A and B are shown apart, each in its own frame.
Chain A
Amino acid sequence: MLEVSNLACSRGDHRLFSGLSFALHPGQIMQVQGANGSGKTSLLRTLCGFMMPDEGDIAWRGNNIRDLDDDYHAEMLYLGHLNAIKDELTALENLRISAGLSGVEINEKEAVAALRRMGLRGREMLPVKVLSQGQRRRVALARLLVADARLWILDEPLTALDVGAVTLIQELIAEHLAQQGMIIFTTHQPLQVAGVEMSSLSLS
């Protein structure tokens, strides 16, 4: 589980938040709320280990994530504002490469199945540059299906998605939580998952 204690973070001279403490247990989901610029993305990036917090500790299974490093990275998945996909590569190549980077090798069949579930049937072999914004986001989100991670850190996962895709994401979240996964995410759109109690964290 993920434990955050007394976390403080700043950008330049501006203090974004301080004294932030929370814990995320298996099967739990937490929404980070706050206005633009309140530090939601900074919090998530700090949780990934990209940024050093000014103060406080982030612990995964009781150990500091700085000490765990790669062992922590093997158990988490981060989806940021940027899709991390290449325009020149096909959806299939993109998915297989990003799965490889996150430490799992998937064969073509598994990748195609994941892309089809994301509603990209018939688009698997197209270079990503001909796809729409929403379809690109779907390619990026297909990583959730193939990665083998306990903790999902999702920054605005619903950007550019249509109603059908949002429903799909809700399903994925419910499945992940049912398998004792953990999710921390931000969104400005309403996201309800049936039968799941969502805790929330407000940054101001």
Chain B
Amino acid sequence: MKKFTMFDLLVLVIRRDLVLAMRRRADVLTILIFFVMVVSLFPLGVGPEMGMLRKMAPGVLWVAALLASMLSLGRLFSADYLDGTLEQMLLAPQSLSMLVLGKMTAHWMVSGLPLVLLAPVLGLQFDMSLQAIGVLIMGLLLGTPILSMIGAIGAALTLGLRGGGVLLSLLVLPLCIPVLIFGTGAVEAVSTGLSAASHVSLLGALLIMALVFTPWVTAQALRISME
């Protein structure tokens, strides 16, 4: 028998959550379809005027991504909570923060990354320029992991509560506003001929901060929820 290192644990948790997601494909598809639907409804709702669509595209895509990631957050810990796996995770002899980081990563790969990959196609629908689409993808790539990580704190705090879903959105959405502002700001900057560098680096800074703090905070929140 071989002892587990912290990295082994990270890989184990990510692989486990990805296998589970593959076997529950409907959950993943729901998020993607929701994202595509919300984004596609806007041109139908506000009319086909190209200038306006181009202007609102980044905002629409970002808000849709934000809402789509909310949709899957409720399930981040609740399935493990209900079948007792979470108890075992708390008793794991390695760091709980590392385990939480694994769950966050898997959550992003399942619910964030597909949105990033779909965004260019939806961007074309809004007649975004190639350069703007490039920055949009860059922003989403940096921003969606932050959404998963901040969301995990909310998911851990509302674990086992009735009506937790609504509370979760109320807790998490305000915290995601900076990500939304810098993400859309970056695309607007390139559209008006400015550099997106400052917005993108701020997103990068937020991502690093989230990587350092959120796993630990989430781990503490899980301990509180399990009492």
The residues of A with any CB-CB pair to B shorter than 8 Å are: 48-52, 70-71, 73-74, 76, 78, 80-89, 93, 97-98, 100-106, 110, 146, 148
What is the CA–CA distance of A197 and B125 in the complex, to the nearest angstrom?
75
Q: Please measure, in the bound complex, the distance between the C-alpha atom of A148 and the C-alpha atom of B12, giving whole angstroms.
A: 19
Chain B hits for A81, CB < 8 A: 84
26 interchain pairs, CB-CB under 8 A: A48-B87, A48-B91, A50-B226, A51-B227, A71-B93, A82-B82, A82-B84, A85-B85, A86-B20, A86-B85, A88-B23, A89-B19, A93-B19, A97-B12, A97-B16, A100-B9, A101-B99, A102-B91, A103-B4, A103-B94, A104-B1, A104-B2, A104-B4, A105-B2, A106-B1, A146-B1
- Tell whether, in the assembled complex, residue A103 and residue B93 are in contact, meaning their CB atoms are under 8 Å apart: yes
Cross-chain contact B227 with A88 (CB below 8 angstroms): no
Q: Which residues of B contact A (CB under 8 A)?
A: 1-4, 8-9, 12, 16, 19-20, 23-24, 82-85, 87-95, 99, 226-227
Assess the B92–A88 pair: CB atoms within 8 A. no
**Contact present for B4 and A105 (CB under 8 Å):** yes
User: Chain A residues near B95 (CB, 8 Å)?
Assistant: 70
**Among candidates A52, A83, A88, A100, residue contacting B20 with C-beta atoms closer than 8 Å:** A88
A71 to B95, CA, bound (A): 11
A100 to B19 Cα, complex, angstroms: 15
Taking a contact as CB atoms closer than 8 A, the residue among A84, A85, A87 that contacts B87 in the complex is A84
Contact, CB under 8 Å: A102 / B93: yes
Whether A80 and B1, one on each chain, are in contact in the complex, defined by CB atoms closer than 8 angstroms, is: no
Q: For A74, list chain B residues within 8 Å (CB).
A: 93
Chain B's nearest CB lies how many Å from the CB of A48?
A: 6
A83: chain B residues at CB < 8 Å are 83-84
Task: List 17 extra interface pairs beyond A50-B227, A70-B93, A80-B87, CB under 8 A.
Answer: A50-B226, A78-B87, A78-B91, A81-B84, A84-B84, A84-B87, A86-B83, A88-B20, A88-B24, A89-B16, A89-B19, A101-B91, A103-B94, A104-B2, A104-B3, A105-B1, A105-B4
Interface contact B91-A76, CB-CB below 8 Å: yes
Q: How far is the CB of B100 from chain A (nearest CB, A)?
A: 13
Interface pair B92/A84, CB less than 8 Å apart: no
